[in-house]
Amino acid sequence: MEISKKNIETNINKAKEGNQAAFRFLLNTFWVDVYNYQLKRTKSENDSEDITIQTFSKAFDKIDTFDDKYVFKTWLIAISKNVHIDLLRKKNSSIFIETTKEQEEKVYLVIDENPTPEDKIIRDQNLAKLLKDIKQLKPKYQEVIQLRYFQELSYKEISKQINEPMSNVKVKLLRAKKLLAEVIKRN
């Protein structure tokens, strides 16, 4: 249904006087035009709707500034374009702030690998208990555990140090771990 130019002009004048029915008429008449214009620009239904709402809000606030020499639809599209540009500017200027907040949050996600004083105390207590448990093993087993886990020697290096074949070192270490596990379970 084609709406006459005269009907639009009449409703613009009524809207300038504050007539709510005239505002509703103008909104219903030009909503699709403004919305589709923004949909082509933003490619987002939600953004298009938000911008269209803001466009009509601004247009109705300033309806008394509308000059009848111009086409109302063109005036609305110009307002819509400016609203969109303002939103883009706001978004671009807030990128720095958003990035900073995002980086700030990531900082708190980084794990502090330095042990706390409580961690050190617990570690020292656990180490003391472990050393006490190791002392309950036969000296040959204590030696391989000491060389492997405290001095961090390789199987080959342990083999040279205790002058035994590497296969014996592996078996002795395996046996020592099993015996240590039994001692720890008992205590």
Residue 66 has pLDDT above 70, yes or no: yes
Instruction: Write down the pTM of the prediction.
Output: 0.51
> What are the residue ranges of helices labelled H in the chain?
5-16, 20-42, 45-61, 72-109, 117-134, 139-145, 155-162, 166-186
Q: How far apart are CA 122 and CA 109, in angstroms?
A: 24
| Whole-number pLDDT of residue 64 | 92
Judged on CB neighbours under 10 Å (0-12, 13-18, 19+), 162 is: middle
Out of 3.40.718.10, 3.40.50.300, 3.40.640.10, 1.10.10.10, select the CATH number for domain 117-186.
Answer: 1.10.10.10
CATH number of 5-109: 1.10.1740.10
Q: Which of 5-14, 50-59, 69-78, 104-113 is predicted with the least confidence, judged by mean pLDDT? A: 104-113
Q: How far apart are CA 84 and CA 37, in angstroms?
A: 11
Q: How far apart are CA 140 and CA 148, in angstroms?
A: 13
Residue ranges matching CATH 1.10.10.10 in the chain = 117-186
pLDDT band at 93 (very low <50, low <70, confident <90, very high): confident
Residue ranges matching CATH 1.10.1740.10 in the chain = 5-109
| Whole-number pLDDT of residue 81 | 95
Return the number of other C-beta atoms located less than 10 Å from residue 182's C-beta.
Answer: 13
